[in-house]
Amino acid sequence: MDHPAFILVRPQMGENIGAAARGMLNFGLTALRVVDPRDGWPNPRAIALASGAARLLDDARIAPDTGAAIGDLDHVYATSARLRGLTTPVLTPEEAMRDAALRIAAGGRVGILFGPERTGLENEDIARANTLVSVPVNPDFPSLNLAQCVLLMAYEWRRQTRETPARSMHLPGQARPANAAEMEALARRLEDSLEAADFFWPDHKAAPMRLSLRNLVSRLDLTDADVRTLHGAIRALVRGPGTRRRRTDTPE
Do the domain assignments include residue 35? yes
Do the domain assignments include residue 175? no
Percent pLDDT > 90 in the chain is 50
Closest Cα to residue 123, out of 87, 72, 70? 87
Enumerate residues 6+ apart whose C-beta is below 8 A from 126. 78, 80, 84, 86, 88, 113, 132, 215
Give yes or no: residues 159 and 184 share one domain.
no
Please write the tens of the pLDDT for every residue from 66-78. 999 999 999 999 9
Q: DSSP 3-state assignment of 26?
A: helix
Give yes or no: residues 194 and 145 share one domain.
no
pTM greater than the 0.85 cutoff: no
Q: How large is the C-alpha radius of gyration of the chain?
A: 20
CATH code of the domain containing 132: 3.40.1280.10
Q: Are 27 and 4 in contact (CB under 8 A)?
A: no
State which residues form the domain around 209.
180-239
Judged against a pLDDT cut of 80, whether residue 49 lies above it is answered with: yes
Highest mean pLDDT among 80-89, 153-162, 208-217, 239-248: 153-162
Do the domain assignments include residue 169? no
Do the domain assignments include residue 244? no
Closest Cα to residue 146, out of 115, 119, 124? 115
The total domain count for the chain is 2
Listed in sequence order, the DSSP H helices in the chain are: 14-26, 44-50, 54-58, 66-70, 93-105, 123-126, 146-163, 180-196, 203-219, 224-239
Mean pLDDT confidence for 1-11: 95
Give yes or no: residues 65 and 108 share one domain.
yes
Pairing mode, strands 75-79 and 90-91: unpaired
Do the domain assignments include residue 133? yes
Enumerate residues 6+ apart whose C-beta is below 8 A from 33. 5, 6, 7, 8, 60, 61, 62, 63, 69, 111
Maximal C-alpha separation, the chain = 78
Give yes or no: residues 123 and 21 share one domain.
yes
Do the domain assignments include residue 245? no
Please write the tens of the pLDDT for every residue from 125-169. 998 999 999 988 888 888 889 999 999 999 999 999 886 554 544
Do the domain assignments include residue 174? no
Judged against a pLDDT cut of 90, whether residue 48 lies above it is answered with: yes
Mean pLDDT estimate for the chain: 86
Give yes or no: residues 102 and 204 share one domain.
no
Preceding amide of 202 cis, omega within 30: yes
Do the domain assignments include residue 247? no
